[in-house]
Structure 1
């Protein structure tokens, strides 16, 4: 249920989501990087940072970011070309308190000189980090093909050099920008949660009552590409990619999500299945490059080394999509709605405002025709495009220095048009006979569709073949989506896990499980070498699971079924008996200690990054660890990121990785050595001894929440003697438990797991 209001000049959208546990807010300002004065490139980005550093009512720890972190929520912001957005998610009971803090940070920022200097340094470090970030370079390369407006070429991230040394002048520029654009008529507020529409409206009314008033008048010049522009190729590191973009009139916005659903479909007969089968491309991503009230710039990013063959296939696919009937379009729109419904309240709001929320298509055939005729810019990125940088022209744009050269398209023989097939389709399912034997399969009652969870034996993983399995299972999952089911094979908490959603159709379930059995029995890695993440700390997070467990090859599978009929349960249990590894053997999983030690991870970046994982000793309650992590998170950020400015990545949180529970500390710095970063972690832990001894344990316990999002996996863990945090364990928690565990985490350093990269 949705309600739209205008309150005191503020445009408000309210979304009632009765099944949600949390509530989310997003406020968008119609001002971004393109609205900055030419004198101050990066000003909008700096303002975004500064608003989180304190406001009149909440100048310090209790401000929005610290308060959200302390209460287990999520908060973030983004600065785009024509918009800036601030958003958070928190439990419904604390939503009003969060909105009050959001209001104060937007309306009454402090703009303190010390905070400005601090955030200038952070943004400067972020700018240096992005110099080696291939997606940022690719966007800048596409923006270099724009003739008007000139703001597409202007430096937008911000840096110490761009901001300059005159902090007083910069402070005044920030105030002027804020005063001009942060007024009610230039803001849009979205609220979503389990509260009734009337309750949400009351919260919105309180938010709007004291917003500053004013009118903003802007003339946004139309986006135009360079005349007679030719596609360009960029010399860059990383996987070869082809960026194909279209500039559209904003009237077509309601059709883009439906187009995206057609293009993302992995089922046999669709574009991606055809591209993979012919070895042309392996992945696709759609994103917005630019959004204004009148124009949209959409890009499809393909992983490919054959841009010319790909371009021809995309043209054929668009032609076929443009010929689909209304029944097919409504079918794919339903799939887009299902994808959207699976998101959290916060992610739904972000898609509504900044991404791809489902909408009833308007003149879809005309939209496809307009897309094919739209101004288009393409970019081929590959480290193999030119072996000599001198062959490319050095172009400076948006603070990047890029090697660009015209890409001449190879002459193409007119190939036969690919035959595409769109759902709904009638498919004949053929299965081998079921065995008489059946595995022991835990069956949990549920009124939702049957969902099978299958994962490797606890404390083991599929380090080599997990990615290859994901590729083999992709067509199956896509086919199931078209018949009311679906599935995922992905790393969950550092372990590859199958989540298979099945309609209550025994033949279909049996067929799907047989496809899964074949995919998992094929233990070939079959994957291309994985490129490292461009940001060092992300690479360390990706590597952590394999460095915690010594068992990379499982001896069995563990499975549980949630929902579905008894007859379906029996079919699944029999089919699971045909898997190449035993499923649910009677022998219980044996808990293994996590591997400790220090490991250096090779990474091409120039920063020093540190990942410290401190595992929980099983003799201590998980509730104590979760409570300590909640204490560490805001304090770690405040002291090392805000007060000491250690680096631009400063994070601490609870983490379960490869079945090991622990607390994580992550740091990345362009200046400090790995040894210094580790010393800061040690010093931080030691500094909390007295503070933990004086905590209000009862108040802390009210902030802990039992995770009810995956009852099936929780039941499977319990069956194997592995427990999760319960309300009973929270109620039993004492201050002594926290002190004892904190001392153990701090002092038993031989159990620590440290991963690091050292800049070059």
Structure 2
């Protein structure tokens, strides 16, 4: 059944959309202001983005330490904002009981911001740090180049991020423009506010009416129409003019067709030729009937790009001639799966953008025809529309009843009513060809990963130390089908060629996060020179391997189907291995792209002190952000949290800075740890309330169950809540002191060598 929804316009002109989704455990708000970077004065590039940042620095009603960012983070929620060309979005997600407090802070900070010059000076440096990182990021520069392919008169080709030089704080004209932009666009008539959660529609409406009245009344201001885009399809960049309403939704259907890599599709044709490395289609811009989108097609070096483009045009022609009802039927299944799996935040953001999860209506089909008529086409290739994907089916697979394998544990943390399940399978593979074999298997899983992504499933295959791990989550029946397919590929891959493509470069701090599990578990054995990769080698590796796993969220019938599938699991079933241990302080110098200084500090906490460690991490979040991000302005990438990795729990700090060295960052973190924290009973209570199945996202519940399984911990969520509530100031002081002890087992992962001899 679709979620009940309601739309209304308040007396002040604000457009309110409401969605009651009783299956959700969190509530979310998404507020869209119909104004963006292209609506700001041309003289002041970055003004709209700058204003978005200033809102989060607090105001008289809710200063920074009690503002939306701190409020949501303290509750373990999500909060962010985004400035696009013609819109600016603000959004957050929290437990339902805290929703009113978040909504009040969101509306207050936008309606009555503090635009003091002190706030502006501080945040301009953050904007400039973002600009430096953006200018050095190859992916960002590639997208900027794509945007510049349009007409020189169109604002898409301009610079809108802002930096120290374009944000002229000392100029009275800039200050007037900043305040004028806020007055013109941040009133009720420019705003769509979407609320989504398990609350009733009446409860959501009451909250919307109560807090949205802070916005000044007004009518929607007309946004200046842009000049024409260049009407050419250069390479794989496509532009459209004068499209009818529903074009964005129609493009979603077209991209769903383009991203299908099953037999008979154009991606399958590329893969059969051995040409395909990767595919992604992205909408770059849409406003007033204009649309700009791009296909990022990665081909192997020997591929013929001209023939690949001809095949694409042939696929366009085939889609033009296909039965729209058949296209729309599969698209409807895809949309239904996305809606069932969407979080409160995803639903609220779709509603605020006017893009519901649904099949195309009559207007959308007209828009699809207009887009297809506008695309290049030719008669090339032999095509067919694949049958509906079994991964989209909701019924349990029919399998012969068999007992669950000895290596599989079952958690009852997620009730069946959630309709969300997760399977974790982990192999210890002590083979000298561990990494090359992993690369082959990961490549073999790529087509299945693409299918899973289309079906709103999450399929991940990862490697850390001598372990391989498969994780699949989503609708329970679909998870069983996906795991069955994945095991078949892992046992006997179709393709034995090693991948040659390079993954997109990550910013340094993200690259370090990706390497952290390997750093925790230690390096794998190097292969012998000249070793062969073949089926026999893989079979030998599987025979030497041991596996264990965890199933979360399955009912009895689907669990039985999963058990039957897992009897084909390679390796010997066993119990989890001991969690990794090390002594002393370790420094790993990671070779990652990027020139900015980046550092991760992981401080393990004994299992019986995890409750205290979580509270300590929670109380440190504010001081770390305030000192490093606000006062010292080290950079925009600053975080601190408690994290469980590979069964090891601990405090995790991360900083990326354009000017502070890794040694300086580490000194700042040690200083903050030495200062300690003061116990806040309200924060303790709020943290304890986060560890309730009803308050946690389904994926977080499954991950918590898996990490405690790896750590062989038997205590459940109620015990963790009790331990948090029993934590006292003395416990926090003792743990802080133990962490600062020179013998504490810290792990530092950085893109530079260790600063002195205290690390090994």
Q: Quick one: which of 36, 39, 43 aligns to 1:35?
A: 39
Asked if the contact 1:132/1:534 (under 8 Å) is kept, the reply is no
* CA distance, structure 2, for counterparts of residue 726 and residue 44 of structure 1: 43
Corresponding position of 1:318:
316
1:417 paired to 2:381: yes
Question: In the TM superposition, what whole-angstrom CA distance separates every residue of 1:422-462 from its partner, at most 9, and x where no partner exists?
Answer: 223899xxx99999995454456764679561321589997
C-alpha separation in 1, matches of 2:390 and 2:203? 47
In the alignment, is the contact (CA less than 8 A) between 1:510 and 1:571 conserved in 2?
no
Contact 2:244 2:366 in 1 (8 A): no
User: Taking structure 1 as reference, are residues 308 and 51 closer, same or farther at Cα in structure 2, changes over 3 Å only?
Assistant: same
Output the CA distance in 1 between the equivalents of 2:619 and 2:83: 30
Contact 2:248 2:286 survives alignment (8 Å): no
Structure 2 equivalent of residue 389 of structure 1:
none
Give yes or no for contact 2:635–2:658 (8 Å, CA) kept in 1. Answer: yes
- 1:259-270 to structure 2, matched below 5 A, reads 259-270=254-265
Q: 1:257–1:356: 8 Å Cα contact kept in structure 2? A: no
CA contact (8 A) 1:96 1:203 kept: yes
**In the aligned structure 1, how far is the partner of 2:638 from the partner of 2:481?**
47
For the pair 1:272 / 2:243, whether they are aligned, the reply is no
Summarize the alignment of residues 315-714 of structure 1 with structure 2, pairs less than 5 Å apart.
315-322=313-320, 323-353=322-352, 357-363=356-362, 366-374=366-374, 416-424=380-388, 439=406, 441-443=408-410, 447=416, 453-457=423-427, 465-466=437-438, 468-476=440-448, 488-491=459-462, 496-499=469-472, 513=484, 516-520=487-491, 526-528=498-500, 530-531=502-503, 533-550=505-522, 552=524, 555-562=545-552, 572-573=562-563, 575-583=565-573, 585=574, 587-593=575-581, 597-618=586-607, 620-687=608-675, 689=676, 691-692=677-678, 699-706=685-692, 709=698
| Cα pair 1:120 1:160 within 8 Å, conserved | yes
Secondary structure of 1:741's match? helix
Deviates more, 1:280-289 or 1:696-705: 696-705
| Pairwise CA distance, 1:221 | 2.6
CA offsets, 1:690-736, max 9 Å, x none?
A: x3357667535545424552566666666662356622232233213
How far apart, in 1, do the equivalents of 2:716 and 2:437 lie? 31
Match of 1:133 among 106, 112, 137: 137
Deviates further, 273-282 or 486-495: 486-495
How far off its partner does 1:193 sit? Answer: 0.7
Residues 669 and 422 of structure 1: CA distance in aligned 2, closer, same or farther (over 3 Å) = same
1: CA distance, partners of 2:184 / 2:604: 50
- Would you say the 8 A contact 1:493–1:657 is kept in 2? no
> Compared with structure 1, are the counterparts of its residues 678 and 562 closer, same or farther at alpha carbon in structure 2 (3 Å cutoff)?
closer
Deviates more, 1:195-204 or 1:32-41: 32-41
Q: Partners of 2:133 and 2:558 in 1: how far apart?
A: 52
Give the conservation status (yes or no) of the 8 Å contact 2:405–2:567: yes
TM-score by length of structure 1 reads 0.82
Q: Secondary structure at the match of 1:27?
A: strand
Distance 1:493 1:31 in 2: 45
Residue 306 of structure 2: aligned partner: 308
Q: Alignment partner of 1:116: what SS?
A: helix
2:572 match: secondary structure: coil
**C-alpha contact 1:146 1:223 (8 A) present in aligned 2:** no
Cα distance change of structure 1 residues 681 and 478 upon mapping to structure 2, 3 Å threshold: closer
Q: 1:200 to 1:432 in 2, by over 3 A?
A: closer
Residue 747 of structure 2 corresponds to residue 753 of structure 1: yes
Residue by residue over 1:492-528, the C-alpha shift from the partner in whole angstroms, topping out at 9 and shown as x without a partner, is: 99973232668769xx968963651442565978333
User: Residues 504, 603 of structure 1: CA spacing in aligned structure 2 closer, same or farther, 3 A cutoff?
Assistant: closer
Counterpart of 1:6?
9
CA deviation after TM superposition for structure 1 residue 49, in Å: 0.5
What is the aligned partner in structure 2 of residue 728 from structure 1? 719
Distance 2:683 2:404 in 1: 52
Which consecutive unaligned segments of at least 5 residues does structure 2 have?
Answer: 392-397, 526-543, 754-760
User: 2:34, 2:87 within 8 Å by CA — same for their partners in 1?
Assistant: yes
Q: CA shift at 1:244, angstroms?
A: 5.0
Cα distance in 1 for partners of 2:271, 2:427 equals: 31
- How far residue 293 of structure 1 moved from its aligned partner, in angstroms, is 4.0
Q: Within 1, Cα distance between the matches of 2:54 and 2:403?
A: 66
Matching of residue 738 in structure 1 with residue 732 in structure 2: yes
The one of 71, 75, 81 equivalent to 2:75 is 71
Alpha-carbon distance in structure 1 between the residues aligned to 2:557 and 2:356: 37
TM-score (norm 2): 0.82
User: How far does residue 289 in structure 1 lie from its aligned partner after superposition?
Assistant: 1.4
Q: What do the CA deviations read for 1:58-108 (whole angstroms, capped 9, x no partner)?
A: 123001112211222111101111111111111110110111111110011
| Alignment partners' CA distance in 1, 2:211 and 2:439 | 47
Q: Give the drift of 1:52.
A: 0.6
Structure 2 CA distance for partners of 1:338 and 1:749, relative to 1, 3 Å: farther
Aligned partners of 1:697 and 1:185: how far apart in 2? 37
Aligned mates of 1:470, 1:336 — CA distance in 2 = 27
2-structure distance, mates of 1:654, 1:512: 30
- 2:240 and 2:100 map into 1 onto residues whose CA distance is 41
Distance 1:350 1:293 in 2: 20
1:178 aligns with 2:173: no
**Tell me, which stretches of 5 or more residues in structure 1 are unaligned?**
233-241, 377-411
C-alpha distance in structure 2 between counterparts of 1:722 and 1:573, whole Å: 24
- The answer to whether the 8 A contact 1:287-1:300 is kept is yes
Matches within 5 A, 1:207-286: 207-226=211-230, 231=234, 243-244=237-238, 246=240, 249-251=243-245, 252-286=247-281
| Cα distance, 1:670 vs structure 2 | 1.1
1-side partners of 2:355 and 2:553: how far apart?
A: 31
For the residues of structure 2 that align with 1:79 and 1:302, how far apart are their CA atoms?
27
**Distance of aligned partners of 1:23 and 1:480 in 2 relative to their CA distance in 1, 3 Å threshold:** closer
Deviates more, 1:60-69 or 1:297-306: 297-306
Cα contact 1:435–1:578 (8 A) shared by 2: no
CA apart distance, 1:741: 2.1
Out of 93-102 and 359-368, give the one that drifted further.
359-368
1:166–1:185 Cα change, 3 Å: same
Aligned residue pairs, count: 703
Task: Quote the Cα distance in structure 2 between the aligned partners of 1:426 and 1:45.
Answer: 44
Q: Assess if the C-alpha contact under 8 Å between 1:148 and 1:222 holds in 2.
A: no
**Whole-angstrom distance in 1 between the partners of 2:504 and 2:58:** 36
Q: Aligned equivalents of 1:496 and 1:434: distance in 2? A: 26
CA–CA separation in structure 2 for the residues paired with 1:608 and 1:205: 46
Q: CA, structure 1 residues 138+243, in 2 after alignment: closer, same or farther (shift >3 Å)?
A: farther
